Structure 1
Amino acid sequence: MARSIGAKSVQSHLAKLFERHGKPVLIRADNGREFIADTLLDWLGEQGVRGVFIAKASPWQNGYTERFNGTMERELFGHEIYHSVLEVQHVIDEWLIKYNTVRPHRSLAGQTPAAYAKMLTDASCP
Structure 2
Amino acid sequence: LYIEPGSPWENGYCESFNSKLRDELLAREIFYDLREAQVLIENWRLFYNTARPHSSLGYKPPAPRTILPATFMPPYRLKAA
TM-score interval for Structure 1 and Structure 2 normalised by the shorter chain: 0.5 to 0.7
Question: Which is helix-richer, 1 or 2?
Answer: 1
Amino acid at match of 1:88: A
Q: What's the offset of the Cα at 1:96?
A: 0.8
Given residue 52 of structure 2, which amino acid in structure 1 is its aligned partner?
Answer: R
What runs of 5+ residues in structure 1 fail to find an aligned partner? 1-51, 119-126
Q: Which 4+ residue blocks in structure 1 deviate beyond 4 angstroms?
A: none
Give percent identity, aligned residues only.
39
Matched, 1:112 2:35: no
Say yes or no: does 1:59 pair with 2:14: no
The residue number in structure 2 matching 1:101 is: 50
Higher strand share: 1
- What is the distance in 2 between the residues matched to 1:53 and 1:90? 35
In structure 1, the residue matched to 2:38 is 89
Report the structure number with the largest CA radius of gyration.
2
Name which structure has the greater RCO, CA cutoff 8 Å, separation 6+. 1
Q: TM-score, normalised by structure 1?
A: 0.44
Aligned length: 64
For structure 2, the residue ranges without an aligned partner over 5 or more in a row are 67-81
Alignment of 1:8-23 (within 5 A): none
Q: What is the one-letter code of the residue matched to 1:67? A: S
Q: Say whether the 8 Å CA contact 2:8–2:14 is kept in structure 1.
A: no
For residue 59 of structure 1, what is the amino acid of its counterpart? W
